[in-house]
A and B are shown apart, each in its own frame.
Chain A
Amino acid sequence: MSLQLTTTVCGLLLLAGIVELLRRRQLREKYGVLWIGVGLVIIPLSVFPHAVDRVASFFGMASGVSLVLFAAIVFLLVVCLHLSWEVSRLEEKTRTLAEEIALIRMKVDQNTGSDVDQR
């Protein structure tokens, strides 16, 4: 099987997956736009893996494929970092909510408790 076929099929499958997730509203728009952008870069690259050979030699790399790999790894690292950051923020938010719920629940219990006493 040729390299071109492999990369093209993978690229198309990825794009289809992204579009489907967006269509089912499983991806927030801010991520959707990012991933559509990624898809639009990946598809032409997967059809013509040597398209960026020129750019690659400018950065001192032997082949465009290396450049794409390098860029992909950097991109994935940034995405992972971003996700860790988002998770940290979400944990802080759920923690605050949990505390709030415990405080409110205690107040409710106290109030219903005193109601019972009055009866």
Chain B
Amino acid sequence: MIPALNEAGAITGVIAEIRAELPGVDVLVVDDGSTDSTAREAGKAGALVASLPYNLGVGGARRLGYRYGLDGDYDVVVQLDADGQHDPKFVPQMIDALDEGDVVIGARFAGVGEYRVRGPRSWAMSFLSTVLSAVARTRLTDTTSGYRATNRRGTALYAQFFPVEYLGDTVETIVQAVRHDLTVRQVPVAMRPRVAGTPSHSPIRATIYLGRAFSVLVLALIRR
């Protein structure tokens, strides 16, 4: 399942790679009100395309994916980004890890790959990792990763519950998984630079990110 917002430049390659690497899987692209030709390109590349009537944000798009997974009775749902940063060759490893967990995170900074971030964004990320590792009682090094796999239990939870808020889609989902007695695990993955288009984070936003990460985490922990 791939949420995509204006990723016409990258989506075709991402889908082609998934189909080559993982023959026989269904690829669902959730087009979140893109103003470019993302939906058409995805359809041409052989993916199922669900087009939201207006922009819901990553969380909304992902819950739609999980609902589709639940309705279609899929054993495993994998969510990855449309920008080519998530290499589908790690999917089999993540699915193997589902033997021990209900939610598996494809984690950067876990020893594999070159991807690094610096400054406030990296402080926020390590802070989140520390707290969420304690919450989940396992070592999590990359809690904001959008590369994840769920089994049926994880899919059922996320089909019903998936916050739209920025960061809620990554941080709060981990807290909720633990709350619902699901097991969270991680698999180290290498992250690549995005293929085309623009990342949704600028340096200024990285600083705000730190504050938001903190408030999202506190809210996630006190929420029922």
Chain A residues close to B by CB (< 8 Å): 91, 95, 98-99, 101-103, 105-106, 110
Contact = CB atoms under 8 A, between A and B. Distances in A.
Nearest to A113: B43
Contacts of A95: 56, 60, 164
Contacts of A101: 52-53
Nearest to A91: B164
Interface stretch (B63-71, B130-138, B148-156): B63-71
Interface in B144-181: 164
B52 to A, nearest CB: 5
Interface string B39-53: 000000000111111
Contacts of B30: 102
A98 B51 contact: no
A119 B48 CA distance: 22
Contacts of A103: 50, 64, 67-68, 71
Nearest to A97: B53
Interface residues of B, number: 16
A106 B53 contact: no
B60 A105 contact: no
Nearest to B57: A95
Interface in B88-133: none
8 contacts: A95-B56, A95-B164, A98-B56, A99-B60, A99-B63, A103-B50, A103-B68, A103-B71
Interface of B: 30, 48-54, 56, 60, 63-64, 67-68, 71, 164
- Closest 5 CB pairs between A and B? A102-B50, A99-B64, A106-B50, A102-B52, A98-B53
Given A106-B48, A106-B49, A99 B67 contact: yes
B64 A105 contact: no
A51 B71 CA distance: 64
B79 to A, nearest CB: 15
A11 to B, nearest CB: 41
B119 to A, nearest CB: 32
Contacts of B64: 99, 102-103
A99 B64 CA distance: 6
Nearest to A104: B50
A103 B190 CA distance: 32
A105 B51 contact: yes
Contacts of A110: 48
Among A91, A98, A103, A110, find the residue whose CB has the most chain B CB atoms closer than 10 A: A98
Nearest to A101: B53
Given A99-B56, A99-B64, A102-B53, 17 more contacts: A91-B164, A95-B56, A95-B164, A98-B53, A98-B60, A99-B52, A99-B60, A99-B63, A101-B53, A102-B30, A102-B50, A102-B51, A102-B64, A103-B50, A103-B68, A105-B50, A106-B48
A91 B52 CA distance: 15
A9 B58 CA distance: 50
Among A98, A101, A102, A106, find the residue whose CB has the most chain B CB atoms closer than 10 A: A102
